[in-house]
A and B are shown apart, each in its own frame.
Chain A
Amino acid sequence: MTNVLLQYATVLVLTAFVGTEIIAKVPSILHTPLMSGSNAIHGVIIVGSMLILGSANTNLEEVLGFLAVILATLNVVGGFVVTDRMLEMFKGRKPQPKPKAKSDEVAS
Chain B
Amino acid sequence: MSRGTLIDLIYLFSATTFLVALKGLGSPKRARYGNAVAAFGMLVAIVATFFKYVDGHALHHVWLILLAMFIGTIIAVPTARFVEMTAMPQLVAIFNGVGGGAASLVSITEFVHIKSTNPATYVTLEVLLGVLIGTVSFAGSAIAFAKLQELMTGRPVTYPGQQIINAIVGVVALALIVTILVQGSTLLLWVLLIVAFVLGVAFVLPIGGADVPVLISLLNAFTGLAVAASGFTLGSNLLIVAGTLVGASGILLTRLMSKAMGRSLSNVLFSAFGSNITATGASSVEGRSVRSGSPEDIGVLLGFASKVVIIPGYGLAVAQAQHVLRELADELEGKGVEVFYAIHPVAGRMPGHMNVLLAEANVPYEDLLEMDEANSELATADVALVVGANDTVNPAATNDPASPIYGMPIIHADLAENVIFLKRSMRPGFAGIDNELLYNPKTLLVFGDAKDTLTKVVAVVKAS
Contact = CB atoms under 8 A, between A and B. Distances in A.
Contacts of B243: 42, 44-45
A107 B253 CA distance: 38
Interface of B: 11, 14, 18-19, 21-23, 25-29, 31-32, 34-36, 38-39, 42, 45-46, 49-50, 52, 54-55, 59-62, 64-65, 67-69, 71-73, 75-77, 79-81, 85, 88, 91-92, 95-96, 98-99, 101-103, 105-106, 108-110, 112-113, 116-117, 216-217, 220, 223-224, 227-228, 230-232, 234-250, 252-253, 256, 323-324, 326-327, 330, 333-334, 343, 345, 350-353, 355-356, 359-360, 362, 364-368, 370, 455, 458-459, 462
List the 10 shortest-distance A-B pairs measured between CB atoms, nearest first: A73-B72, A54-B59, A31-B352, A19-B248, A32-B352, A69-B68, A31-B351, A75-B99, A81-B80, A68-B105
A29 B368 CA distance: 8
B237 A8 contact: yes
A89 B246 CA distance: 24
Given A43-B42, A73-B71, A90-B28, A48 B106 contact: yes
A103 B364 CA distance: 16
A61 B95 CA distance: 23
A40 B35 contact: yes
A90 B248 contact: no
Contacts of A47: 11, 45-46, 49, 236, 238-239
A82 B234 contact: no
A43 B35 CA distance: 13
Given A15-B241, A69-B65, A45 B353 contact: no
Given A44-B239, A91-B362, A92-B364, A107 B31 contact: no
Nearest to A84: B35
Contact of A55 (B23, B54, B98, B326): B54
Given A23-B22, A43-B42, A70-B68, 17 more contacts: A12-B228, A28-B345, A29-B28, A29-B365, A29-B370, A31-B351, A31-B352, A31-B355, A34-B249, A37-B38, A38-B246, A39-B246, A66-B67, A68-B105, A81-B77, A84-B32, A84-B36
17 contacts: A24-B252, A35-B216, A36-B92, A41-B42, A43-B99, A47-B236, A50-B49, A52-B106, A53-B60, A55-B55, A60-B112, A69-B72, A70-B72, A72-B72, A73-B72, A77-B73, A80-B35
A71 B102 contact: yes
Interface of A is mostly: helix
A31 B253 CA distance: 8
Contacts of B247: 16, 19
Given A22-B19, A34-B22, A68-B106, A53 B61 contact: yes
Interface in A4-26: 4-5, 8, 11-12, 15-20, 22-26
A29 B355 contact: yes
A37 to B, nearest CB: 5
Interface residues of B, dominant DSSP: helix
Contact of B80 (A8, A61, A77): A77
A57 interface: yes
B252 A78 contact: no
B42 A51 contact: no
A42 B38 CA distance: 11
A53 to B, nearest CB: 5
Given A51-B52, A70-B68, A72-B72, A33 B62 contact: no
Contact of B99 (A45, A50, A86): A45
A77 B333 CA distance: 40
> In the complex, which of the residues A44, A47, A62, A92 has the most CB atoms of chain B within 10 Å of its own CB atom?
A44
A20 B246 CA distance: 9
B232 A8 contact: yes
Contact of A103 (B223, B323, B333): B323
Given A46-B102, A48-B236, A52-B106, A40 B88 contact: no
Contacts of B237: 8, 11
B42 A76 contact: yes
Given A38-B220, A41-B242, A30 B25 contact: yes
A29 B360 CA distance: 13
Most buried by A among B25, B73, B91: B25
